[in-house]
Amino acid sequence: MGFLRLICLSLALGLGLAPAAQAAFETRAEAAYVVDVTTGTVLLEKNADVPLPPASMSKLMTLYMLFEALEKNPAVTLDTTFRVSARAMAKGGSTMFLTERDRPTAEDLIKGIIVQSGNDATVVVAEGLAGTEEAFSRLMTEKGAAIGLTQSTFTNSSGWPDPQHRMSMRDLGILTQRIIEDYPEYYGYFAMSEWGFDGRAPQNRFNRNPLLKLDIGADGLKTGHTQEAGYGLVGSAQQGARRIIFVITGLETDRARAEESERIVSWAFRQFVQKDMAEAGRHVADLPVWVGEAETVGLVSPEDIRPLVPMVASGSLVAEIEADTPIAAPIKAGQQLAELVITGPEMEPQRYPLVAETDVAKGGAWVRMQAAAEVLYRELTREDAPDAPQAAN
């Protein structure tokens, strides 16, 4: 009809918002990914989707598979014992120093993988759950794809160097969030700072995660290092209601890894803040209705809107409503009609759905006649309408 259009309504919500420009953060890592889990806001991406050698960080996938077995397979419990093969015992690198005589429990293996980064322990898990490490690796790749890991291929259970064994930093972040959300009952193991199996290898009883000893809310997850990959870390920390996950790789030394990890955690928590923008169910604005029993319909947010925004900025946040108006009746309560768009300097627009507050029924015959008359009047009076024909003399 010619008068439906996109509108942007400035919203005077009295928010008292902090400025929104983001202080630049440069990481020394070859690749990095940082996400605020509470809001789903990605804070940093650097080569985040490039498949890279993940080293021992890919042990998180082995642990995810073991956690799934503990959850879904009645034959696997924390007390279930596993056989140690000659292949597992011979595995080099970081190890629990298992022998073929040992029968470690699933809980022993979880601790050995997390704290001691035991390559032998991952082989024991792989063979115990799938028969062979090769079969387990195929299952890891299939499960990874099923949970959203798009740049991950596994050829072993430990992260042992292999040209086909690859993960992206984003995939490691996604996997970490799945571990935290899917298996919270096992997540506490990642905060263990020390553990040794049967008194063996006392020099290898300390967790390599450098953040666990700091009072910054860090509670996981896994370090990694090979000559090809460099030094990396998948970490998570919680302060108050906020949790962040970060993944870095390609650092030159373990000290650089520790310093960069602490810098990222400090920056993520200090330079960003959540802001209360709208309460769930609270009236936000009204939109005009076309041929309805009511002339307007109220808008509400179906959920609390609490975006994460930069703490320091050169300008203020702007909240606007975008919608095609007027909205044609009938309208059902809960029907999405618009979006609240939050923008600010040096930040990506954040969009949230707004829905109808109430039902609006279609108007009767008189309402429809009035609407038709309004359309006709607008068409006849618009500036580009053709002149009326003149009578012949």
- Beta partners for residue 220, in sequence order: 236
Cβ neighbours for 319, distance < 8 A, ≥ 6 positions apart: 10, 11, 13, 15, 277, 340, 341, 342
Catalytic residue among 59, 91, 111, 222: 59
Question: E strands, the chain, where?
Answer: 5-10, 31-36, 41-46, 218-226, 230-239, 242-251, 272-274, 283-290, 296-300, 308-310, 318-325, 327-328, 336-344, 347-356
List the catalytic residue out of 58, 85, 94, 117: 117
Beta strands 218-226; 230-239: pairing state: antiparallel
Strands 41-46 and 318-325, bridge-based pairing? unpaired
Q: Is 72 a catalytic residue?
A: no
For residue 141, the SS3 value is helix
Q: Examine the residue annotation and report whether 193 is marked as an active-site residue of this protein.
A: no
- What the block records as the tokens of 334 is 């809960």
301 catalytic? Reply is no
| Largest CA-CA distance found in the chain, in angstroms, rounded | 117
For the chain, the first-to-last Cα distance in angstroms comes to 36
Catalytic one among 56, 157, 158, 261? Answer: 56
List beta partners, residue 319.
342
d(CA 283, CA 323): 16
Q: What is the DSSP string of 105-120?
A: BHHHHHHHHHTS--HH
Catalytic (active-site) positions: 56, 59, 117
